[in-house]
Amino acid sequence: MSDHQGRHAAPEVSMTANSPAPSPETGELILLWTLPVLAVLWISAFFLFPGFTHPMSPALSADQVAEFYRNPANLTRIRYSMVVFNWFGVGLIPLLTLLVMQIRRMAHRTPIFSYALLCCTAGGPTMFLVANLFWLVAAFRPERDPALTQLLNDLAWVTFSGGVPFLVAQSVVLALAIYLDRQAQPVFRPWVAHFNVLVAVALTPAAFVGLALSGPMAWNGLFPFWVKNIAIGVWIVVMGVVLARVIYRRRAGEPAPHMAVIA
C-alpha cells in the first residue's frame, strides 16, 4: 500500500477504534424480546391444532385416527399448526441461551453447569421438532393405509408427551446452579431454584406416557398433557420475567456478578 493510500485509510481505522462497542446486555435484550413472539407461536399452535383443543385419545382405532386426518376441516389446521409449532421449537433456543449466560455469571469453580444446560438446550427443542414432523408427515398423505397413519400419530404423541427428560434435566441443572451460587448478590433468588425443582417434579410423570392407553397417565390424561403443558407454559412466563429483571438490572449499572470463563 502506498503512503497516499495509507493516509486515506487511517481516519477510518481511528473512527472504528473510537466507536463504542455494544454492551453484553444489548445482545441479551434482543434475545429477551423474542419471548413475546415465542408466546404467540405457542398459543397459536396449541389452539390451531385440532388434536390439542380436545386431546386425541390413544385408544382410538386405526380407522378413527385415519378419519381424523382425512377430515378436510382438520387437515389444513394440522398442517399449518405443525409449521407454526416448528418455529416455537426454534424459539426456545434464545430463552435457554440466556439462561446459559446467567449461569456463567454465577460464582462456580467449574463451568460444568453451563455445559450441562447447553446440552439440554439442544435436546428439548429437538424433541418438539421431531414430534411436529411426525404429525406433519401423518397429514401429508392422509389417503395412506390407516395403520401407517396411526403409527405416525402414535410416534408424534409419545414423542411430544414423553420427551421430557431434557426439560426435567434443564430445570434440575438450573436449580443446582442457583443453589451453589455463593455470591453476596446472586444472579437469581433462591425461590427461582425452588420453582425449577417444582417444574421438574411436575414434568416427570409424562416420561411414562408409553405405559397407558387411558387414565391420568395416557397422553391425553392429567399428567402427560395438562400438567406438563401448563408447567411448560408457566416456566416460560416465569423465567422470562426473571431474566428480564436480571438483564435490566445489569443494564442499569448495578454491580455485575462474576463471569466464569468457559475454556
- The neighbour count for residue 193, using CB atoms within 10 Å, is 21
Per-residue pLDDT of 200-252, as tens digits, reads 999 999 999 999 999 999 999 999 999 999 999 999 999 999 999 999 988 88
Residue 105 grid coordinates = 455469571
* φ, ψ for residue 145, nearest 5 deg: -55, 130
Euclidean distance between CA atoms 56 and 60, whole angstroms: 8
pLDDT in tens, 174-185: 999 999 998 888
Give the model confidence (pLDDT) of 145-189 as tens digits: 999 999 999 999 999 999 999 999 999 999 999 999 988 889 999
d(CA 136, CA 75): 10
Axis-axis angle for helices 190-203, 228-251 (nearest 10): 160
Closest CA to 129 of 169, 91, 74: 91
pTM (two decimals): 0.83
Q: Which three cell numbers stand for residue 31?
A: 434475545
Q: Return all residues near 53 (Cβ < 8 A) that are at least 6 apart.
A: 47
Which pLDDT score, from 0 to 100, does residue 254 have?
A: 57
Rounded to the nearest 10°, the torsion over CA 99, 100, 101, 102 is 50
Residue 139's Cβ-count burial label (10 Å; 0-12, 13-18, 19+) is buried
Query: What's the average model confidence in pLDDT over 50-75?
Result: 95
Cell of 28: 441479551
